[in-house]
Structure formats: structure tokens, C-alpha cells
Amino acid sequence: MSRLLIVHEKRIPISLRKLAVQEAKKRRFLVKVSFYKDSLSSIAKKLNWADVALFAPGRYLDENILKHASRCKLFQLWSSGFDKFNVMAAQKFGIPVSTNGGANADAVAEHTILLMLAVLKKIILNHKRTVNGKWKNNGHGMDLFSAKDKTLGLVGFGEIGSRVGKIAAAMGMKVIYTDPNPRQENLNRVPSAKGVKLDQLLRKADIISLHVHLNLYTKGMISKSRLSLLKKQSILINVSRAELVDTKKLFKMLNSGDLFGVGLDVFNEEPTKPGDPLLNHPNVVCSPHMAAVTFDSHKNVIKNCFDNLERARQGNKVLWKVA
């Protein structure tokens, strides 16, 4: 039987950990479990034992730890993002790293639309009005907007971005995107979508939604100067990584009224802390980095991860490699 090490974060609920362990046993893996907060020597010892490893989610481990994974045929990441994992060390030791293959793309796309509509309809503010019974002076919709006929600009047109575009197009939105190498299957999801340069997208879109991985090329891509290109009263949605955006400039634009609103699922500091002025702004809707996670998406992720671990165990070519 092949040996599998599952490395969890402590915050992962027991019920979710059990799903992974149950799947491992069903597929006849010998399983050991570790946590990122365990002693480095303990993690190293278990990696030395493992034939494959599942990181749930992918987090940084020093190369002095990863070098002990001499038996490992695959580092399988539970997550779709890989910027927090030590990919360079894995490459150094010749161990392939794979993501979940977009298994949670539908969940993220749905959540993106949720944030967009919540900002357009000021749902947080109006929920509070309803709960408090303060309906007077509520604007009667003069401060709210519909999605139909708005232009949605998608920065990144991969598995998630194209799914967002498909839903938006069905809602009657005009879809534009920027992506250096869009795959044909993603283009086929939204035949009406138009590809444009990033700066043109920022100038034309009523709503901008970010769907790119964080790396050396994308970090800070929505810079102070690029934020200045946005149409007045536009909306920014970020379910990717906070480091893509100049947050200080974003906050200034909210305060000046240049932006209508912002929807965020990712933050410079996670978990967030009480009192953050950006998160407390009345035109910001936020969620605790949960866009990708539903019961259904977890099942899809587990299937993809274990299908790939099976490939590695059998000596076959693994999928969704990032290194």
C-alpha cells in the first residue's frame, strides 16, 4: 500500500479532515496526518515516510523540511492557488507540484457574482435597515443598480473568470476580458466576450473582477496609476489575492466617491482584525476568504486530488502541474 501524508492547517474543521482521511482509506492508502504547526522534525520525519503528500491547503514549508521527502512522487495541493507553497524547493528536489485542477471554480464564480450583486444592491446596508426597522430615507432604489447592460471586465479568463463571464452574460451583461493566453474551451463558454488590453478594460468596465494567480508579474498589477483609470462609480471585485491591488489607493477612492463599491474575499492580513477602516466602509462587502469553499466544492476537490494521487502512485503522468 502506498503511503500518504496529509498536512492540514489547524483551522480546517474535523469534519473536513475526516472526508479526506475517509477517501484515502477508501483508495487503500496508508495515511499519516500532520499539521503545519507541528514541530519541524515531526513533519520532516513523516515526509520521509510518505510516497505522496496532500497539502490542505498549500502553505510554505522550508526547503530543509521538504528535502526529507525523498520518496515523494507528488506534492498535491488541496488549493487552486499555489503562491503560498514553496514551489521553488519542490522544483529543486524534483518533486512535481499539482493544484486541484479548478475543482472549486464553480463555487468561486458563484461567490464572485454574489459579491457583485451585493455591492450593486447595497445588501449589507439594506439588511441592517430591515433588521433595525429604519426604512425611512432609504433612497427607494435611487442609489442601487442592476447588473443587466453593465460592462463586466474580467482580469483573467481561465476556469473561474470564464465561468463568471458565462453567468454574467446570461444576466444580460456585456463581458470583456484580458488574458495573455486564453484557452479555447474557456472562450467557448462566453462566445460574446471581447478580449482587450488591461488598461482599456479598466477604462471601459463598470465592474472589474480579478481572477489571476499571484506571482512576480501580477503582484501590484492593479496599481495606484491603474486604479486611476477606472470609470467613476465603478465596482472592483477581488476573490484572487489582496496583493494584486494597491489597497491604500482603493480606500482613498472609496472615500472620495470615485468608486461605487468594492467586494472582497481576500485580504492583506488573514484572518482580518476588527476596526479595519476599509472593511468597515459602508460600500464594502466582504467575506472571510470563503469563495472556493462549499460542501459540494470540497467533494469535487477531494476527488480531483485523489485521482491525481492515484496517477502518481501508479507511475502515470499527473495533471495540473505548476512545477
Distance CA 283, CA 279 (A): 9
Each residue's pLDDT tens digit, 9-26: 988 999 999 999 999 999
Q: Where exactly are the structural domains of the chain?
A: 3-103+294-313, 105-286
- Is residue 137 predicted with pLDDT exceeding 90? no
Each residue's pLDDT tens digit, 153-165: 999 999 999 999 9
Whether 3-103+294-313 and 105-286 share one fold: the answer is yes
Q: Say how far residue 18 (Cα) sits from the centre of its chain.
A: 23
Average pLDDT over residues 283-294: 97
Q: Distances in Å between the alpha carbon of 55 and those of 90, 99, 155, 287, 311? A: 13, 10, 28, 23, 17
Question: Residue 274 — pLDDT band, cuts 50, 70, 90?
Answer: very high
**What is the per-residue pLDDT for 121?**
97
Architecture of the domain whose range is 3-103+294-313: 3-Layer(aba) Sandwich (3.40)
Please identify every residue annotated as catalytic. 241, 270, 289
Average pLDDT over residues 242-250: 98
Q: Which residues of 117-126 are buried (b: 16+ CB within 10 A; e: fewer)?
A: bbbbbbebbb
**What is the per-residue pLDDT for 1?**
86
Each residue's pLDDT tens digit, 191-219: 999 999 999 999 999 999 999 999 999 99
**What is the per-residue pLDDT for 200?**
98
Q: Decide: helix, strand or coil at residue 55.
A: strand
Dihedral through CA 84, CA 90, CA 95, CA 97, nearest 10? 20
Question: Residue 323 — pLDDT band, cuts 50, 70, 90?
Answer: confident
Q: What is the DSSP string of 90-135?
A: HHHTT--EE--TTTTHHHHHHHHHHHHHHHHTTHHHHHHHHHHT--
Question: Could you confirm whether domain 105-286 is CATH 3.40.50.720?
Answer: yes
